[in-house]
Chains A and B, each alone.
Chain A
Amino acid sequence: GENVEQHPSTLSVQEGDSAVIKCTYSDSASNYFPWYKQELGKGPQLIIDIRSNVGEKKDQRIAVTLNKTAKHFSLHITETQPEDSAVYFCAANPGGSQGNLIFGKGTKLSVKP
């Protein structure tokens, strides 16, 4: 079945620096890769997603890149701010399914003022 590996597990950056979180997946049939942000005391919330027919997608300070050949995708946050501090999860849809997701183990991002 699908396996999603996420690195690093913790990441600390200075405000204004960039942060990069990387994920790899195992199932070549996966075609949907969302990223979720979980703030303290809340459920995860989608921040950006990418489908396998696209190599890169941007939304203001957030971007995601996908390398289908290498089976990895990354989240890039530029000009980090303290409110970016949270746990970030990547995910992939196993077997190209149109319902469930397999999540990575999460990255705790801390942005120091």
Chain B
Amino acid sequence: DVKVTQSSRYLVKRTGEKVFLECVQDMDHENMFWYRQDPGLGLRLIYFSYDVKMKEKGDIPEGYSVSREKKERFSLILESASTNQTSMYLCASSISGRAQETQYFGPGTRLLVL
């Protein structure tokens, strides 16, 4: 089975802190994604990556950056956390960009910024 793991299920941070959310997939997938999920807004794409060291902006990249130094790991970085970044963060991966494939999601990290 494909497994996507996220480093924390719950996280509490203070405004202005630098926050790292880690995601690891164990199936050698090329594509990885970061979404945030808010009530009534569904899933919104923050960033995605098709390969190591490659990244593409999604719909809401402002205030976030990402890092993909290894194929299996995709990190989301909040450079200076703000209260409006309190949300559920979901990581996903898919096999490749050669054909549309299933995205496999992790369990999510619920982030609270105080």
CB contact list, A33-87 vs B, under 8 A: 34, 36, 41-46, 49, 51
Contact of B42 among A34, A45, A89 (CB under 8 A): A89
Q: List B contacts of A25 (CB < 8 A).
A: none
Establish whether residues A100 and B90, one from each chain, have CB atoms under 8 Å apart when the complex forms.
Answer: no
A100 to B45, CA, bound (A): 8
Q: List B contacts of A32 (CB < 8 A).
A: 100
Establish whether residues A105 and B107, one from each chain, have CB atoms under 8 Å apart when the complex forms.
Answer: no
Interface stretch of the complex, out of B13-21, B68-76, B79-87, B91-99: B91-99
Establish whether residues B102 and A34, one from each chain, have CB atoms under 8 Å apart when the complex forms.
Answer: yes
Contact of B58 among A6, A41, A89, A100 (CB under 8 A): A100
Taking chain A's interface residues, is the majority helix, strand, or loop, or is none over half, making it mixed? loop
Chain A interface, number of residues (Cβ within 8 angstroms): 25
A31 to B108, CA, bound (A): 28
Q: List B contacts of A103 (CB < 8 A).
A: 35, 42-44
Contact of B40 among A46, A51, A102, A105 (CB under 8 A): A105
Establish whether residues B42 and A93, one from each chain, have CB atoms under 8 Å apart when the complex forms.
Answer: no
Q: List B contacts of A89 (CB < 8 A).
A: 42-43
Which of A89, A93, A105 has the most chain B CB within a 10 Å cutoff?
A: A105
Chain B interface, number of residues (Cβ within 8 angstroms): 29
Establish whether residues B107 and A41, one from each chain, have CB atoms under 8 Å apart when the complex forms.
Answer: yes
Q: List B contacts of A31 (CB < 8 A).
A: 100
Contact of A93 among B43, B98, B100 (CB under 8 A): B100
Q: List A contacts of B92 (CB < 8 A).
A: 43
Q: Separation in Å of the B77 CB from the closest CB of chain A?
A: 19
Q: List A contacts of B105 (CB < 8 A).
A: 36, 43-45
Q: List B contacts of A100 (CB < 8 A).
A: 33, 45, 48, 56, 58
Q: Interface on A for B, CB 8 Å cutoff?
A: 6, 9, 31-32, 34, 36, 41-46, 49, 51, 89, 93, 98-106
